[in-house]
Amino acid sequence: MSPKRLLSAVSLLLIACSLHAQPLRLLIGTYTDDDATSAAYLMAFDSGTGSATLLDRAPVRNPAFIIPSADGTRAWSVSESNDGRQGAYSYILGDNTLKMTSFQRNCPSGSGSGNPCNILYLNGFILTADYFGGTVSVFPVAADGSLEPLCKTFSFGERSRMHCCRLSPDGKWLFASDLGCDAIRRFPVLPGGSLPVGEPDIAFRATPGSGPRHFVFSADGRFCYLLGELGDTLTVLRYEDGTLTPVQELKAYRGRGKGSADIHLSPDGRFLYTSHRLRKDGIAIFRVDPQTGRVRRAGYRRTGVHPRNFAISPDGRWLLCACRDDDGIEVYARDAATGALTLKADRTIRVDRPVCVQFF
């Protein structure tokens, strides 16, 4: 082996050892409404064994999608409903504690902006993608991480069903998927000021009826992968300076469930995973060509009932899938060479109606 290749191999080994040794935590969101078990959860995850341990729970209503801050000291979640009580929560994260600190409604008038289902932090603001009402709601974040009252609502009409917000790789744009209008909307990012983003336009029009849901960007920022919920479609898009250009479109799976849910790339970018529910529930596996961005099928793994959000551990060894109707988060060992998933049934994390899981 040449000195250059040896140095590269040693570097990769050191990185892998560092990731392996790093303690991991999990945030878990649920659909538990007003049940006694309604809560967001904080857990410790052992990346050596794939086992999770409960650290704390914050009793809140329908924290269906939850995210940590970049430094791991704060968290925010939606409160997903459509009865006038919907909005967003803030939390303080300790080493072993999760405490809700504030709540703000995204419909102060009592109507509109129903079912916030996705949340994003951007430059001192929290944004929620609101399914019913077809809006994106904006809340300022105070210095202590708590939420201030709603300051802006971007509305897109009765047909709109907003589902996911993500920042572009270059940080210049915020993209938001609109399931009802078969589009990805594009907001210019405004660094500083009273709002995080400006007025949007449409960056990409998807195949009619496909229902864009979640999407991810490749680590090098050249490609975007979009999952269509209603059409069970996977669309590969080239990204360049705010522009999304189609490269490939295929059926993400052949179950025709019209319930495709989540999408993630492996940490090394070699594999793409998509979750599917309502029929033949499972996770589709694709091998990614890093040069062209195109994908090809590499397998399909059946899961528990109603798989929603899932997450891949930073070291790439584990995939955790939230199966809502089985009251559990399934733990899968991931083969880095083939992308294949092996269920570790004895490590299933038992939580009532889990729908979101986040490593940090």
- With bands split at pLDDT 50, 70 and 90, how would you rate the model's confidence at 245? very high
Helix (H, G, I), strand (E, B) or coil at 312: strand
Domain annotation covers residue 223: yes
Domain annotation covers residue 356: no
Mean pLDDT for 228-255 is 97
Instruction: Write out pLDDT tens, residues 159-216.
Output: 999 999 999 999 999 999 999 999 999 999 998 889 999 999 999 999 999 999 999 9
Domain annotation covers residue 325: no
Q: Is the four-CA dihedral 112, 118, 122, 125 of positive or negative sign? A: positive
Q: How far apart are the first and last CA of the chain?
A: 36
Domain that holds residue 95: 22-271
Cα distance between residue 224 and residue 247, in whole Å: 10
Q: pTM here? A: 0.92
Would you list the DSSP string of 59-128?
--S---SEEE-TTSSEEEEEE--SSS--EEEEEEE-SS-EEEEEEEES-TTSSSSEEEEEEEEETTEEEE
Domain annotation covers residue 346: no
Cα distance between residue 117 and residue 139, in whole Å: 15
Mean pLDDT for 35-59 is 95
352: tokens are 């009532």
Supply the CATH number for residue 159's domain.
2.130.10.10
Mean pLDDT for 336-348 is 98
- Residue 295: which of 352, 349, 355, 216 has the closest Cα? 216
Domain annotation covers residue 358: no
Query: How many domains is the chain built from?
Result: 1
Domain annotation covers residue 54: yes
Cα distance between residue 30 and residue 186, in whole Å: 29
Mean pLDDT for 88-110 is 92
Residue 15 pLDDT > 90: no
Domain annotation covers residue 342: no
Q: Which residues pair with 30 in a beta bridge?
A: 354
Starting at the edge strand found earlier in the chain, the sheet holding 66-68 runs 66-68, 74-79, 87-93, 98-105
- With bands split at pLDDT 50, 70 and 90, how would you rate the model's confidence at 112? low
Predicted local distance difference test score (pLDDT) of residue 109: 66
Predicted local distance difference test score (pLDDT) of residue 3: 43
- With bands split at pLDDT 50, 70 and 90, how would you rate the model's confidence at 5? very low
Domain annotation covers residue 353: no
